[in-house]
Amino acid sequence: MIVTLTPNPSIDVTMELTAPLSTDTVNRAQSLRQAAGGKGINVSHVAYLSGQETLALYPSQHQDPFVSLIEQSGIPSRRVAVNAPVRINVTITDDRSTAKVNSPGTAVPADTSEILISALLEHVDAANIIVAAGSLPPGLPEDFYGRLVSEVRARNADVIIAVDTSDGPLRALGDDLSVAAPTIMKPNSHELGQLIGTNGRNLEELALAGHVGPIVEGAARLVDQGVHEVLVTLGPAGGVLVTDSGAWKITPPPARVRTTVGTGDASLAGYLIGRAAGRTCPDAARQAIAFGTATASLLGTAFPDSSVIDLERTEVVQLV
């Protein structure tokens, strides 16, 4: 079972406009959708749609609108009682572009860190993969993910732990890798840059030009510090996987890109679904990029299942 924890879930609102977005005027939406979101929630959503056993843990108040949304989705979930409302994130899309505005979330009580980790530990023995993902709400310490990894390892040394975050929490985890390295990390180019102290945009531009050497070297630094598998997602350039056994470049299949919302989360889910099924790391990475590409062809917080991904045209080449 894949158990996910999303410390800062969101109500994802997607508005599709009738014309390109314009400032200093009234824009008209032709549709509006709401969905339960957040990185861990999205991973569980893809797993659920693909028939993979999963459980999504999230903090919220009892009658928060988020609770109804996640129940409507069918995603197996458990609410962790925290006295703070779930934030709202907004995506505005038209025929030419997508704009996303994420709110920071409401400050949570001081004991929330212990409450969330304790809730996760209740399910560690039933899980073969643990996912902790997303931003942290105000009130949680930036070293939250390192503490979580250490406590999960102390309870179950064999469980696979995947962490996917960014900015301050990611840098804090990077500082703790020597003592709290997760099994799997899935940074994008910007996040890899945060971890190794370089410009992530330059990394992606190099990848688009066919030069993935700096990405392989950066991911290998994380492997040297104890991370077993590093999957770097690179948008239209696909992805790079680095483990202690080698490095691989994954080229995505052709697709019409309509959004980038949730593509990284879908890629992580695809990778974990593959690993849970016993696939090799390169085969799981191929599935990851196929899932991410299929998600890019959809609007808003919407995800494909495993029956519609294009594995046949997703290519994997070993580099090292």
Looking at 46-50, 273-277, 292-296, which range is the least confident one?
A: 292-296
Domain residue extents for the chain:
1-21+30-182, 184-319
> What pLDDT, on a 0 to 100 scale, did the predictor assign at position 66?
97
The whole-number average pLDDT for the span 13-40 is 90
Share of the chain above pLDDT 70, in %: 99
Buried b (16+ CB within 10 A) or exposed e, 77-109: bebbebebebbbbebbbbeeebeeeeeebbebe
Per residue in 169-199, pLDDT (tens digit) is 999 999 999 999 999 999 999 999 999 999 9
pLDDT for residue 112 is more than 90? yes
pLDDT for residue 301 is more than 70? no
> What pLDDT, on a 0 to 100 scale, did the predictor assign at position 299?
64
- Do 1-21+30-182 and 184-319 show the same overall fold? yes
Per residue in 120-131, pLDDT (tens digit) is 999 999 999 999
- Top mean-pLDDT range of 109-113, 193-197, 258-262: 193-197
> What pLDDT, on a 0 to 100 scale, did the predictor assign at position 300?
59
Q: For all residues of the chain together, what is the average pLDDT?
A: 94
Pick the CATH number of 184-319 from 3.40.50.720, 3.30.300.20, 3.40.1190.20, 3.30.590.20: 3.40.1190.20
CATH 3.40.1190.20 given to domain 1-21+30-182: yes
Per residue in 55-107, pLDDT (tens digit) is 999 999 999 999 999 999 999 999 999 999 999 999 888 877 778 899 999 99
Share of the chain above pLDDT 90, in %: 82
pLDDT for residue 249 is more than 80? yes
